[in-house]
Each structure stands twice: as structure tokens, then as C-alpha cells.
Amino acid sequence: MTGTTHLRGRRGALWLGKFARLVLTVAVTFFGLLLVTFLIGRIVPVDPVLAVVGDRAPKSVYDRVYIELGLDKPLWEQFWMYLQKVFTGDFGISFLSKRPIVDDIARVFPATLELATVGIIIGTVVGVPAGIWAAVRQGKWPDQLVRVLGLVGYSAPIFWLGLLGLLVFYAKLHWVAGPGRIDIAYEYAFTPKTGLILWDTAMQGQWGAFANAFSHIILPASLLGYFSMAYISRMTRSFMLAELAQEYVTTARVKGVPEWRIVWVHALRNAAVPLVTVIALSYAGLLEGSVLTETVFAWPGLGQYLTNSLQNADMNAVLGGTLVIGAIFVGLNLLSDLLYNVLDPRVRRRA
């Protein structure tokens, strides 16, 4: 009994130490993210005072705003003020919209979330079977086809693919709707609640508006899905090749286990553990890397918001959006690590 209690206490201490290291890692990463965004705001050749008062403001007004923004204080004190504001949810006021940046981000982020979510679903549903198919047919034409498609997905500029897609599927074939999230005729057919148009229209039974919104999102989401599919299929192929070379696969074949069961049950189950991390990081990449896609398709999301802010020297908005994207990436990375620990029994045994 004493030995069992001692073992449980030892395991508890190990998990506690692991959790403490995890929290420390996240804290240090987030602190570094805050420091980098702060320094970017001070290094870029944009005068935040002029962005507020304009070029024709008298010097007295310029000096007053300069002091109000705390730019007369030492750099370390400015950073401390920046930390205090961020931890209270204050990213400042957008010079472009004249509204709190937190409110602006809350307004535009659901559009990016919806686009990236549909994109990662497409990339996963297509990329995982394609990677398995390539691994099973290694060296044959299916393998070469998947690898070529992945290479094109990596190499082709995403804005060029977007323009080509609009030209072919919208302008020529009329298979999809054009830029934007929904036609103006359907904007008032439903009540926006979550900011996710597909979800809101489906929950309210507005299927005409749902179909219109789906027609708008399918092309840019497919473009992002193709980009993520290129990475997911390549990693799935690598993981499956490693699993199919293991001894347990050879043993299963000798025992007469059907090949489909070896591939889709035994090998895929083991490959799914690291694959979860790949998909999570791909999702984070879509959330932070959809700037060009949103610009090409006039998608009113975080990417377009950051682009407009950068073009108008609204650095508060740029830094606030960058910080949010960085926090999302850190959070999804942390989630993937936690899922890896939960799904992989070998990691649990080592703990």
C-alpha cells in the first residue's frame, strides 16, 4: 500500500513538474511575442503622433500628444506601460476606424476563422487519404501524382492561384460567387450572432443565404485547403511509410490480416498521433497566413484588416492583430502538444 501511494505521489510530482515547465514555456514565449511586437512598433519608420494629429497640426499639439502617448519616457517604461495595457485587453485605438482595436478584431476575426476552418477541413479530408494512397503506392504513378500536386501547392504563389480561380470559376464558368462573403440581397435575411455566416444561416434555417455564403467561401477556402493539403499529404505519406516499415505490419501480413485493415486501422492509428500536430499547426498557419487570400477575394477578415491598417500606417492595429495571431499560434501549438501527450501511450508511460 505504501509503495502504491509512493508511486502515485511520484507520478503526481512528475505531472506537476511537466505542467510547470509547460506554463513557463508558454509564459516565456508570450513575453517574447510581446517584446517583439513592441520593438517593431518602435523601429518602423512611422510616427505614431503624426498618425493621430496629422501633418498640419501645430507643434504644441504634436508635443502634447507625444507626452500623452508616453513617448517621452524611457524605453523600458514604455514597454511596461505596453504590458499593462495588453494584459487588461487594451490594444489602443485604431487611427483608421477611431474605435478600440479589440472591438475591430472581434468584428473581423470570425470571417478569418470561418475561412480557415473550411480550408483546413478541405485540406485534411483530401490530404490524409492522398498521403495514405501515395504511401501504399510508393514509387508508382499515384505516389508521383500526389507529390507533384503537393509541389505545385508549395511553389505556386497563392495570390496568382486566387486570381486564376476567380477568372476561371467565377468570370468564365460562373460556378461560384465572386469576392466578398455574401451578396447584398441576403445580408438582411438572417441575424448575425456569431459572425460565422454559414453557422448563423444554417441555425436560422435561411438556406438561400447559406447557399449564397457557401458559394462565396468555397473558392478561397479551397485555395487555402489546397495549400494545407500539400503539407498534410506529404507528412501523412512520410508517417505512413515509417509505420508500414515496422515489424508489427510484417507480422500482421504473415498472419493473413487484410491489407486494408493493416493500412487503415493499424498503421493509420499510429500515424494519427503525430498527424494531429501537423493538422493543428496547418490550421494555425491558415489563420495567420490568409492575408493575400483575403486581399484577392475582398474577404473582410483579419488579414484584410491588417493590410488596410498597414497601408494607412495604423501601427496600433497592425501590432494588435499581430499579437492576436501570435497568441493563436502559441495556443494551437500548446493544444497539439497536449493532444500528442494524451493520444500517444508511449509518452504517457515515459511520464
Q: Are residues 114 and 20 in the same domain?
A: no
| pLDDT mean by block of 10 residues, the chain; 351 residues | 57 67 76 79 70 73 77 80 80 80 90 92 94 90 89 83 90 90 89 91 92 94 92 92 88 86 86 86 80 86 84 78 81 75 58 48
What pLDDT is recorded for position 8? 60
Q: Are residues 178 and 67 in the same domain?
A: no
Q: Are residues 73 and 120 in the same domain?
A: no
What pLDDT is recorded for position 347? 52
Separation between Cα atoms, residue 217 and residue 31, nearest integer Å: 36
Examine residue 197 and state whether it is found in any structural domain, yes or no: yes
Examine residue 129 and state whether it is found in any structural domain, yes or no: yes
Q: Are residues 72 and 221 in the same domain?
A: no
Examine residue 96 and state whether it is found in any structural domain, yes or no: no
What pLDDT is recorded for position 175? 92
Q: Are residues 191 and 50 in the same domain?
A: no
What pLDDT is recorded for position 307? 83
* Structural domain ending residue among the three candidates 58, 87, 116: 87
Looking up cell 487588461 gives 88
Examine residue 93 and state whether it is found in any structural domain, yes or no: no
Q: Are residues 113 and 197 in the same domain?
A: yes
What pLDDT is recorded for position 262? 87
CATH code for the domain of 160: 1.10.3720.10
Examine residue 134 and state whether it is found in any structural domain, yes or no: yes
Q: Are residues 198 and 170 in the same domain?
A: yes
What is the extent of the structural domain holding 37?
A: 15-87
Examine residue 3 and state whether it is found in any structural domain, yes or no: no
What pLDDT is recorded for position 345? 55
What pLDDT is recorded for position 218? 94
Q: Are residues 83 and 110 in the same domain?
A: no
Q: Under DSSP, is residue 93 helix (H, G, I), strand (E, B) or coil?
A: strand
**Contact indicator for 103, 320 with CB cutoff of 8 Å:** no
What pLDDT is recorded for position 315? 75
Q: Identify the CA nearest to 11 among candidates 256, 311, 305, 351.
A: 351
Report how many helices (DSSP H) and strands (DSSP E) the chain contains, helices first: 16, 0
* Structural domain ending residue among the three candidates 56, 87, 118: 87
* Structural domain ending residue among the three candidates 87, 116, 143: 87
pTM of the model: 0.83
Query: Identity (one letter) of the amino acid at 153?
Result: G
Q: Are residues 59 and 117 in the same domain?
A: no
Q: Are residues 188 and 276 in the same domain?
A: yes
Q: Are residues 171 and 222 in the same domain?
A: yes
Q: Are residues 38 and 173 in the same domain?
A: no
Total number of domains constituting the chain: 2
Max CA distance (Å), the chain: 87
Q: Identify the CA nearest to 290 among candidates 42, 86, 113.
A: 113
Examine residue 5 and state whether it is found in any structural domain, yes or no: no
Examine residue 7 and state whether it is found in any structural domain, yes or no: no
What pLDDT is recorded for position 127? 93
